[in-house]
Amino acid sequence: MTYEYIIAETRQNVGLIQINRPKVLNALSSGVMDELGVAIDSFESESSIGAIVITGNEKSFAAGADISQMKDNTFAEAFMGNFITSNWERVTVCRKPVIAAVAGFALGGGCELAMMCDFIVAGDNAKFGQPEINLGIIPGAGGSQRLTRAVGKSKSMDMCLTGRMMDAEEAERSGLVSRIYPAAELVDKVVEIAQEIAEKSQIAASMVTEVVDRAYESTLTEGVLFERRAFHALFATEDQKEGMAAFVEKRKANWKNR
Ligand code: CAA
């Protein structure tokens, strides 16, 4: 498949998607989001792929939704067209682990796209922000909700009300990102992490993403019950038998994803 706004490639068992509109700092047009959805569909249906990485370039992950494209939108067009919905949320329902590798700007929709991924690894030059207020709007792709859950009310209010950017150190300190690498090494390092995940049982990895996500959607009691049932269910898999046998026999597990 040839894409116009992204580059999609396979590295071992990892699907790597690079947003590729460098002249506009990877602004997220509907063309980008459509292609991102197609690439995720394709990697998700490929059984050898165990994890997906979404990245931009060293200067910008994505500087937000494409302002030129949306500036003349009317309320009726935004509402009736379900703007920022149909083609934006594909990543949130991907059943394979998705990691955002963020160097440079992750602003507005860019920050929101990163937060839709299962986790974020930052380059040391990363800058996160929800600057929509400077355009007379507010975050529209989940930023006010996911940022608040990630960093708490005070920082989220601060970021969304002032539009200021958070650097990589502050983002790691606040729990928004899991690790930081030098920007020049970021993609290779994140592909290594993704490959490490891809080498695990795909059933268990997919279950991890479901149970962790459930923490955002439920009470503690409900969430723990959901986790417990998923844990119980894994005893029905060949991978559980293989994983525990391999541990006891002091050998590497040979996952079948069954
Ligand atoms: N949409 C469209 N084009 C964008 C863009 C965006 N979000 N961000 C940057 N660009 C374009 C600029 O217009 C410019 O194009 P030209 O060369 O044709 O003029 C090019 O990218 C380079 O940008 P700058 O010259 O501005 O680069 P800079 O280094 O001086 O500044 C920046 C970088 C601080 C990121 C600045 O570009 C900026 O503030 N961008 C907008 C960020 C923003 O407001 N994002 C939120 C968008 S709204 C949203 O995302 C809603 C939502 O919740 C989904």
CA–centroid distance, 27 to ligand 1, in Å, is 7
Identify the burial level of 47 via C-beta atoms within 10 angstroms of its C-beta, where 0-12 means exposed, 13-18 middle and 19 or more buried: exposed
CA–centroid distance, 63 to ligand 1, in Å, is 5
Atom nearest to 138 CA in ligand 1? 53
Q: What is the pTM of this model?
A: 0.97
Q: Is the pLDDT assigned to residue 249 strictly greater than 80?
A: yes
pLDDT digits (tens, 9 = 90+) for 110-169: 999 999 999 999 999 999 999 999 999 999 999 999 999 999 999 999 999 999 999 999
Q: Is 210 a catalytic residue?
A: no
Atom nearest to 135 CA in ligand 1? 44
**Alpha-carbon gap, residue 91 to 98, rounded angstroms:** 8
| 1 confidence band (pLDDT: 50, 70, 90) | confident
| 44 confidence band (pLDDT: 50, 70, 90) | very high
Q: Is 132 a catalytic residue?
A: yes
Atom nearest to 107 CA in ligand 1? 45
Q: Is 31 a catalytic residue?
A: no
Tokens matching residue 91: 């990543």
Determine whether the shortest distance from the Cβ of 97 to ligand 1 is under 6 A: no
pLDDT digits (tens, 9 = 90+) for 158-212: 999 999 999 999 999 999 999 999 999 999 999 999 999 999 999 999 999 999 9
Residue type, 202: Q
Q: Is the pLDDT assigned to residue 86 strictly greater than 90?
A: no
